[in-house]
Structure 1
Amino acid sequence: MTWDDLYDDAARERIVPEPAKRVPAPVRTPFERDRARVVHSASLRRLAAKTQVVGPQSDDFVRNRLTHSLEVAQIARDLAHPLGCHPDLTETAALAHDLGHPPFGHNGERALNDLAQGIGGFEGNAQTLRILTRLEAKTADADGRSVGLNLTRATLDACTKYPWAREDAREPLGVHTDGVPKTLRKFGVYDDDRPVFDWMRSGVDGPRRCVEAQVMDFADDVAYSVHDLEDGIVAGKIDLTALTEPAERAAVWRTARSWYLPDGDDAALDDALLRMQRVDAWPDAPYDGSRRGLAALKNLTSDLIGIFCGNVQQATREAFGDRPLVRHRVDVVIPGQTALQIAVLKGIAAHYVMQAAGRVSLMSRQRAMLRELFEALAGGAPAALDPQFRRDFSDADDDGARRRVLVDQLASLTDASALAWHARLCGTERR
């Protein structure tokens, strides 16, 4: 069975039909072309200057959104092969999954959601769909409206982690690092992007995610948990040997419950940690920054990724046999113990890195800066906006649509450019 048999004409359809190239070019499949479009996009390049956990300007070693996306893509591609879904399609979804993240990561997302309350909120995944189908310039329809990168239906669907609207999203659980309850719902489409979303989801009943999106989401979870732990260790903020102390573990588990596992009890979390501590590469001494220490740390991350992916591959194959996992036919199976171990690693990073007092204070200043910058842009629009957003602002039909353009402009900025724009437009460069 070929890929053309597994992914039919509807899966390969684009919003705007594209004729054959008029100039000689390498023969590529539709999904290879999709991948190339994302790789060459300006939105992907900007991720190099956007926060992952530690700000990209703080250290050359730690990850930014771009390096994180590359690592997610590698994990997703490696997992796609044994599961039988298209590796190019899955890799493209992984490369694109964070395109919608604003400056300052989830903290910036929180600030923009507050600014966009009256127009349907802000969500990084919904912004990703908006970028891929509207904001990233590549193709226009017959009326001259941008359709973004004009990706195939299957690729867009694979990029959609939350295939539902805001009103259908569940209420968030837990609190932010400053103790404020979380209010940001997870959803995948704004109201004014609903037509392209409905086209993308044609023939799909309900909010079920395609298999390729599930692979991307799991790869993101694995990379997020393992690599953020690694960055925290290298930055000197995490010492895994400290978790041998019961009181230290209890404090970490309290954080894990408030962030990720509201029903997780200490015994289950202790057991999940113990299973990981049995991995040969788990450290028995604090990280010392040496090449030997870094090599050991890299071995640990590789082993954990291999274990998590191997468990999912085995569980999924046991459930569905050898048939290819394509589109909406079956689901990825994540064993409960694997999900718990991933959550434990996330909880460790949250406790030692994301809840640090200095970081909480910095995050408050970042949100205030984005609010001030929004007001400055609103007062200076359209002249204060980038050229492409000036046109969007002038073409907007009402105040809500104009406000969405301002949010689009802010979301497109990197950490560094947000600081520079704030200095220029809010006068801080003269203080």
Structure 2
Amino acid sequence: MRPAQYSDDDLEQHSLRRRVSDDGQRSGFEHDVDRILYSTQWRALAGKSQVVASGELGAYHTRLTHSMKVAQLGRRMAERLQRRYGGPNPALVEAACMAHDIGHPPFGHAGETAMRATMDELRGRESQLDSFEGNAQTFRVVTYLAAHKYPGHRGLHLTRACLDAATKYPWERAPLAENPARHVKWGVYDADLAAFAWVRNGRADTDVPVEEQLMDWADDVTYACHDVEDFYRTGHIPLASLFPPPGAAGGDTEREVRRFLDYVQGKRARAGEPFDRAAAQGLLTEIGKRLTVPAPYSGSHDDAVAVNRRTSDLIDYFTRGITLDIGGSAPIRYGARLVIPAERRAACDLLKELVWAYVIDRPALATQQHGKRRIVGELLRWTHESPELLPPERAEELAEHGDVLRAAADHVASLTEDQAVALHRRLSGTGLGSVNDNVWL
């Protein structure tokens, strides 16, 4: 007997405490997808970084196009699993994937780092647990900051199951000495604990439902495949040297592979993580079966077709071997575990390191990252010091909860990168703009 899927309680609305009804036109989870799609926060992701700044020349992924591909990939995997196991629900997985990055600030992880460091400093040592984290900000956006069509209620009114599936780290921030990992990554702020308790529905553990596991894997695969594709096209990642056709490998390939593996080994050593160099070499060989690249990208139509074919082959490799481990007849949400072959997860992690080795840790991007962190950190500091700079909606929220720093963080995190740059120039006096500018709207 197949396990049950979703209870009526999973479909209950967060703020309205009622089930969604649409005369049979849309399910509750399809409502979730549509409400995220039509939110202003979803639209703003077009102006936020995936890896490089959203305004960079070239066809780089933004946080929006990344999230769209995560959602597409998550839904397709869910559809395959549903046909085999009876679940999970594809629309629910799609909604969770769409929501997963909606709280990210401008400039991606550089912005997130600056937000956290500045908040930690401004909060003071005694209150450093209440800081900034992109995943916790996502939860705050969908349950409090975003607006839907119902007056008197806050957030997008997503189903309990959707909010649960979009929560990657179901815990509060822990003290550094107590739990270093949970001091860096967490999923809920103190201000949002009531909503979080409702979503967890009495659960005191840190288990995540199978929909979150699918969302997380879709995120990793999209990052590994599409970001590597971006930077091969623009000449940053030397795939032709790393993965030449059979029989064409020579001294250049050996040097490039050694250089890359040296980078990964050094990075893992600094993090105190083990690294099996021989196994990594084997993974590169396995990846090379699907990523053989005869030459640097030329921009020709044939090259564009070849890139798309390789990306498709990689995605098939990472997604078609997954299964569900289902125990008993419990509801599939917490009664199933996504099983990913270990070598495929390791290969995905190694592909992601290509972006770090050849792009993120390059001096050219490092200098940009410095500037991005300064913009975000100073905007947060200036807004905290002068709350009269808050736009009307954030000022209304400040009047409601009284936390100036949280209101300032909500404002800065909501900005696109163009808005952040323009507002920083305006407030610093380096570019006053016009009195008609509405850079925060």
* TM range, smaller chain: 0.7 to 0.9
**C-alpha deviation, 1:248, in angstroms:** 2.2
Q: Spell out the pairing of 1:94-105 with structure 2 (5 A cutoff).
A: 94-105=97-108
Q: Secondary structure at the match of 2:292?
A: coil
Question: Match of 1:152?
Answer: 159
**C-alpha deviation, 1:372, in angstroms:** 1.8
Cα distance in 2 between the residues matched to 1:405 and 1:386:
10
Q: Spell out the pairing of 1:300-311 with structure 2 (5 A cutoff).
A: 300-311=310-321
Out of 408, 411, 421, the residue aligned to residue 409 of structure 1 is 411
**C-alpha deviation, 1:60, in angstroms:** 4.5
Instruction: Number of aligned residue pairs: give it.
Output: 406
Out of 22, 34, 37, the residue aligned to residue 36 of structure 1 is 34
Question: Match of 2:138?
Answer: 128
Which ranges in structure 1 are unaligned for 5 or more consecutive residues? 173-182
Q: Spell out the pairing of 1:3-82 with structure 2 (5 A cutoff).
A: 6-15=5-14, 16-18=16-18, 27-82=25-80
Corresponding letter in the other structure for 1:17: R
Which ranges in structure 2 are unaligned for 5 or more consecutive residues? 83-87, 243-248, 434-441
Cα distance in 2 between the residues matched to 1:2 and 1:184:
39
- The answer to whether structure 1 residue 253 and structure 2 residue 261 are counterparts is yes
Cα distance in 2 between the residues matched to 1:311 and 1:168:
39
Cα distance in 2 between the residues matched to 1:213 and 1:259:
28
Distance 1:327 1:149, change over 3 A: same
Q: Secondary structure at the match of 1:130?
A: helix
- The answer to whether structure 1 residue 394 and structure 2 residue 399 are counterparts is yes
Cα distance in 1 between the residues matched to 2:296 and 2:118:
43
Q: Spell out the pairing of 1:311-330 with structure 2 (5 A cutoff).
A: 311-313=321-323, 316=324, 319-320=325-326, 326-330=332-336
**CA displacement, residues 308-337 of structure 1 (integer Å, 9 cap, x when unaligned):** 001223xx3xx4499898311111112110
**C-alpha deviation, 1:378, in angstroms:** 2.5
Q: Secondary structure at the match of 1:129?
A: helix
Distance 1:380 1:342, change over 3 A: same
Corresponding letter in the other structure for 1:159: A
8 A contact 2:326–2:332 mirrored in 1:
no
Question: Match of 1:264?
Answer: 275
Instruction: With the length of structure 1 as denominator, give the TM-score of the two structures.
Output: 0.88
Cα distance in 2 between the residues matched to 1:20 and 1:89:
14
- The answer to whether structure 1 residue 352 and structure 2 residue 358 are counterparts is yes
Distance 1:259 1:309, change over 3 A: farther
Q: Secondary structure at the match of 2:201?
A: coil
Instruction: With the length of structure 2 as denominator, give the TM-score of the two structures.
Output: 0.86
**C-alpha deviation, 1:137, in angstroms:** 1.0
Corresponding letter in the other structure for 2:105: P
Distance 1:277 1:20, change over 3 A: closer
Cα distance in 2 between the residues matched to 1:81 and 1:39:
20
Cα distance in 2 between the residues matched to 1:259 and 1:36:
41
**C-alpha deviation, 1:242, in angstroms:** 2.0
